[in-house]
Amino acid sequence: MAAQPGIQHVNSVARRKASTMAAHPSVIALVIAVLATIVYLATPGGSIASRRLYVLFGICGTGMILFAGSLPLRKKIKTTKWPILGLQTWLKGHVWFGLLSILMVLLHARFRWGGSLTAALFVVLMAILFSGIAGLSFQHLIPAATTAIKNSKPGSKATVAGRIILVGHKVNMFLHVPLTLTLLVLIAVHVVASLYYFGR
């Protein structure tokens, strides 16, 4: 049986209100960053509490990286009855929690470079950061690039610039996803190595 127009309107209004009242991911990320930094600075180094805190930072950072890395899977979900975040909110969370994960990793490592595995993890993480920033820039430029290609003559400066932007976006995405997978593998190796080290 089809839903009545009045009920559809009420449901639509309720969804809009829920979306408006939901905290922006940037606000949540900022609050977490401030609280994590305060707790890190207030906890005495070398204590049992500090060691547990460093582990907690690592767990939080890994969770944020997993959340950010799950964006392609979220994009494949078109409609669902489950109360999951909307795609735009998930995309904003991908950006802000991806940035916040860098702070969590630094707090987990106590701002130390560490061994070769830790160094590789940091290098890949920073590469993902720069790739993400480039991706955001391309996203803002793509509409103008597409319009320029459609409305400009072939071979014109606007057309060439538009095609460069589109190709740059594809190349960046081609690098961004494998880098993310590489990071997840390095994190898994890091976790296993840490468990082995502490279990000895």
Contact 118, 109 (CB under 8 A): yes
pLDDT at 69 (0 to 100): 86
Other C-beta atoms lying within 10 Å of the C-beta of residue 126: 11
DSSP-derived letter for residue 11 is H
Q: Backbone phi, then psi, for 23, in 5-degree steps?
A: -70, 140
The mean per-residue pLDDT over the stretch 70-97 comes to 79
Q: What is the pLDDT of residues 100-120, one digit of tens each?
A: 999 999 999 888 877 888 889
Across 43-57, 83-97, 184-198, least confident range: 83-97
For residues 53 and 42, give the distance between their C-alpha atoms in angstroms, rounded to a whole number.
11
Of the chain, the percentage scoring pLDDT greater than 90 comes to 41
Domain ranges of the chain: 23-112, 115-200
Across 37-51, 80-94, 106-120, least confident range: 80-94
> What six digits make up the tokens of 178?
């494998």
Per the model's pLDDT, the better-predicted residue between 34 and 21 turns out to be 34
